[in-house]
């Protein structure tokens, strides 16, 4: 990863980042595909440009974004455990139905700041200033906070398998609503089917289930696919059996989650709505709400008009490593272009990439081809 001179076209943007203490870096264009497949999932495979390393046999890809390569390069460098800031402005590569598969992306990454509320506020304020440099001043800013959703999940009497499934779906409202419907048993023909083997294993302890699956495989001569062991298959079947069971606890949880996800509006009003929701639901959301309010205070101190922001309790980024505050910025006059900036807090990512300690992280990316 090397420091680059600013490009001619985006020199004002890169100058802004540099002046704010974010030196420009350029990670390698060719990256191990496993970095993205492991962290984002197999869904991204069809959007990547893949190649094979003839010498080592490793599957490579042209980088589909900057955040993961910058994180990886940071961990490979000498300052992996110290605060660090980076910016970038260059091409990324994704197969798309429309437009070129090579397009420009810019952004910043901030690692190691412990004053998280102020760090989040500074990142959003910098994103707004970056768009002003690019000539975009009609900002429509949406914010969310995954930590609030996780706190609601933790306060409900749900089996770990339900908490894990719902947490994985946060940010994908249609799929999350479908899972919440499943918690209530579905309705009519839409009710989820429970295969006979899952029903047979319902309530069985994991060791007995593993032995039963191993014996079944032996009797039928079937071989597990994708390297799965009898223990893996048994665990998956037990999870599915648990997800297929419904009681008053899951019914109540479904109702509570539906009410929480409907909260939206100006952030200060949303805080009051969530406090009322927490009292009615018997949940303790004091800690995440205190952090949320502290962030609003920090945003106002950074010059951001919080009254112009739109909060939605169901808004999240569709990546597993985001952990708290998230935001998107649109152009009010060009809604069809979609988000032009996306970012937020992703404290899990560096640990998932091999960091030995938790490293707070926040940042944003600008889709320059949408401006």
In a domain, 350, yes or no: no
Rounded to whole angstroms, the Cα distance separating 60 from 28 reads: 11
Q: How many domains does the chain have?
A: 2
Q: Work out the average pLDDT over 12-31.
A: 95
| Torsions phi, psi for 113 (to 5 deg) | -80, 125
Residue 297 has pLDDT above 50, yes or no: yes
Q: Tell me the pLDDT band of 69, cut-offs 50, 70 and 90.
A: very high
In a domain, 171, yes or no: no
* 78-87, 191-200, 252-261, 335-344, range with the lowest pLDDT: 191-200
Range 99-103, long-range pairs (CB < 8 A, 24+ positions): 99/369, 100/369, 101/49, 103/367, 103/368, 103/369
Q: What pLDDT is attached to residue 283?
A: 96
In a domain, 16, yes or no: yes
Rounded to whole angstroms, the Cα distance separating 4 from 257 reads: 47
Rounded to whole angstroms, the Cα distance separating 115 from 78 reads: 23
Average pLDDT for the chain: 85
In a domain, 188, yes or no: no
In a domain, 224, yes or no: yes
| 69, 96, 111 - which closes a domain | 111
Range among 26-35, 43-52, 260-269 rated most confident:
260-269
Q: Work out the average pLDDT over 86-90.
A: 96
* 138-142, 152-156, 195-199, range with the lowest pLDDT: 195-199
Instruction: Give the residue with greater pLDDT, 110 vs 78.
Output: 110
Q: What pLDDT is attached to residue 187?
A: 43
| 243, 258, 274 - which closes a domain | 243
Q: Work out the average pLDDT over 269-297.
A: 97
| 76, 111, 146 - which closes a domain | 111
Q: What pLDDT is attached to residue 226?
A: 45
Q: What is the CATH number of the domain that holds 105?
A: 3.30.930.10
Read off the pTM.
0.82
Strands (E) in 202-340, as ranges, are 264-265, 310-312, 325-331
Q: Work out the average pLDDT over 42-55.
A: 86
In a shared domain, residues 100 and 198: no
pLDDT in tens, 314-346: 999 877 788 899 999 999 999 888 899 999 999
Instruction: Give the residue with greater pLDDT, 234 vs 353.
Output: 353
Residue 352 has pLDDT above 50, yes or no: yes
Q: Tell me the pLDDT band of 82, cut-offs 50, 70 and 90.
A: confident
Residue 85 has pLDDT above 60, yes or no: yes
Closest to 270 measured CA to CA, from 305, 299, 309: 309
Q: Work out the average pLDDT over 91-118.
A: 94
Residue 4 has pLDDT above 50, yes or no: no
pLDDT in tens, 174-225: 999 999 998 876 443 334 444 555 555 555 555 665 565 555 555 555 455 4
> Under a CB-based contact definition with an 8 Å cutoff, are residues 176 and 169 in contact?
yes
- Name the residue with tokens 């994908």: 172
In a domain, 357, yes or no: no
Q: Tell me the pLDDT band of 7, cut-offs 50, 70 and 90.
A: low
In a shared domain, residues 101 and 203: no
Q: Work out the average pLDDT over 3-26.
A: 82
Instruction: Give the residue with greater pLDDT, 235 vs 304.
Output: 304
Q: What pLDDT is attached to residue 192?
A: 44
Q: What pLDDT is attached to residue 249?
A: 66
Q: What pLDDT is attached to residue 90?
A: 93
- Residue 235: domain span: 193-243
Q: Work out the average pLDDT over 137-147.
A: 96
In a domain, 55, yes or no: yes
In a domain, 134, yes or no: no
């Amino acid at each position: 990863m090397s420091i680059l001179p600013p490009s001619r076209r985006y020199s004002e943007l890169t100058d802004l980042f540099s002046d704010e203490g974010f030196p420009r870096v350029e990670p390698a264009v060719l990256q191990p595909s496993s970095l993205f497949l492991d962290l984002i999932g197999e869904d991204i495979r069809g959007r990547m440009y893949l190649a094979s390393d003839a010498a080592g046999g490793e599957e490579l890809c042209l980088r589909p974004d900057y955040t993961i390569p910058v994180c990886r390069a940071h961990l490979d460098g000498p300052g992996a455990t110290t605060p660090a800031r980076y910016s970038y402005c260059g091409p990324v590569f994704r197969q798309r139905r429309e437009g070129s598969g090579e397009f420009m992306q810019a952004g910043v990454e901030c690692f190691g700041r412990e004053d998280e509320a102020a760090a989040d506020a500074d990142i959003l304020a910098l994103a707004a200033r970056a768009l002003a440099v690019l000539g975009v001043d009609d900002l429509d800013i949406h914010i969310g906070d995954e930590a609030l959703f996780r706190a609601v999940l933790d306060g409900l009497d749900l089996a770990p398998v339900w908490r894990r499934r719902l947490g994985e779906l946060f940010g994908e409202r249609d799929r999350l609503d479908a899972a919440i419907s499943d918690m209530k048993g579905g309705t009519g023909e839409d009710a989820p089917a429970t295969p006979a083997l899952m029903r047979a294993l319902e309530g069985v302890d994991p060791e007995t289930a593993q032995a039963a699956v191993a014996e079944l495989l032996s009797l039928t001569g079937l071989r597990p696919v994708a390297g799965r062991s009898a223990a893996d298959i048994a665990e998956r079947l037990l999870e599915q059996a648990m997800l297929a069971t419904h009681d008053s606890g899951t019914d109540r949880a479904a109702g509570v989650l539906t009410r929480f996800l409907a909260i939206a509006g100006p952030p200060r009003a949303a805080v009051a709505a969530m406090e009322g929701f927490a009292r009615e639901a018997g949940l303790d959301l004091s800690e995440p709400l205190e952090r949320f309010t502290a962030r609003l205070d920090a945003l106002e101190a950074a010059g951001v008009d919080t009254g112009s922001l739109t909060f939605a309790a169901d808004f999240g980024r569709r990546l597993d490593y985001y952990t708290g505050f998230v935001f998107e910025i649109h152009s009010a006059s060009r809604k069809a272009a979609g988000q032009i900036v996306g970012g937020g807090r992703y404290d899990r990512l560096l640990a998932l990439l091999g960091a030995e300690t938790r490293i707070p992280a926040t940042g944003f990316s600008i889709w320059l081809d949408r401006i």
